[in-house]
Copies of this chain bind each other. A is one copy, B any other.
Amino acid sequence: MRALRIDVPPGERAARVAWARLVEPRDKQALELIERLGAEEALQAVQPEDRLGQRVAPRLETLDVARDVEIARTLGARIVVPGDDEWPAGFASLVDPPLCLWVRGPLELASECERSVSVVGARAATQYGLRQAAEIAAGLVDRRFAVVSGAAYGIDGAAHRGALVAEGSTVAFTAGGIDRPYPRGHDDLFTRLWRDGVVATEVPPGSAPTAVRFISRNRLIATVSQGTVVVEAGLRSGSLNTARTASGYHRSVGALPGSVESPVSAGCHQLIRDGAAMLVTDAAEVAELVGPLGELAPVKRGVVRAGDEHEDAHRAVHAALPVRKAVAVEDLARRCGQSPDEVIAALGVLELSGLARRIPGEGWSKATGSRRR
């Protein structure tokens, strides 16, 4: 059998750049061949007759590795391949890892992702969702997590901005080429990310962010971090795909609840109902979910009310005490269905706690803040 003639500069790195141009992300046959032979040798093993060859052939005429490398250089971007220090460790678990990454921005991708949370959600988010995304992102920054997202409108943008405002690290994985910031309405966000964060993509320069590439991109967001939080998502949101991928790869998944009357909370509620996500209400609970043992969120408590620490019997006595007058122990016993001895014991505890007061010659009353003289 005769192989396709594929001309590329020598070396694994150049070969991977070529592969990224020749096939779409998650091309099973290409990945198998590369896994078996290495990227460089795999290029020489593509048969024109088989399905991979037929897929590759139409793209051969547009292949120009030197140009793809040059575009990256012009943008101040770098090309990262497996084995590089900057290759994120999380991708090791992927059955279909990226062939290479185009990376732009001052942050070191791998080390930022080592302690990171993906914060994702609907484009058509509500004010509630946008506010919470920014707040959770800022809270994660406070806890030294980098915030990973997809730079889309809505929740993604709010998450990146929340992290940037908190002067933390943020990482964007995009579905189009490194030279095609998308959406255009996020030009300002991309400018911030290029300056203070980092943007990465697995598709070569010039690639349009198509629907299928968004789905492919989601697996990177899902696996590069220790966990994913869905802030708002409709029932068919791509964020659910990210969440289920994260769950499938044994990453922690959280979902923010919201009004059952809000369609963009319906996806979050479905994830929680399915057991695919843990309900989370703030950054502390997200950190607890994704963090190593010991990062426990503070247990939420309401305001402690007078007498709450006492057992029911004591509470009954406290409740039966009048505020403005005093009553005898026997009266209290009758009201509470307790014996006089039990009432006296309770009154003793309540008096110690400053909740009951004995008025000599009269009986007992509730102790209020203001003292009677």
Give residues in A with beta carbon < 8 Å to B.
22-24, 27, 51, 53-55, 57-59, 62, 128, 132, 210-212, 215, 234-237, 256-261, 265-266, 269-270, 272-273, 278-282, 285, 300-303, 305, 308, 312, 315-316, 319-320, 330, 333-334, 336-342
Contacts of A282 in B (CB 8 A): 260
A58 and B302 in contact, given A211-B316, A281-B266 (Cβ under 8 angstroms): no
The 7 closest A-B pairs by CB, nearest first: A54-B339, A236-B302, A257-B257, A24-B337, A235-B302, A212-B316, A260-B281
Whole-angstrom CA separation of A241 from B77 in the bound complex: 57
Contacts of A279 in B (CB 8 A): 257, 269, 272-273, 279
How many copies of this chain?
2
If A27-B337, A260-B282, A270-B300 are given as contacts, then 16 extra A-B residue pairs at C-beta distance below 8 Å, sorted by A number, are A24-B338, A54-B340, A55-B333, A57-B339, A58-B340, A128-B259, A210-B316, A212-B312, A235-B300, A257-B258, A257-B279, A269-B279, A272-B279, A273-B279, A273-B285, A279-B279
- Residues A212 and B315 in contact, CB atoms below 8 Å apart: yes
Contacts of A258 in B (CB 8 A): 257-260
Q: List 7 A-B contacts (CB under 8 A).
A: A51-B342, A55-B339, A58-B333, A58-B334, A212-B316, A257-B257, A257-B269
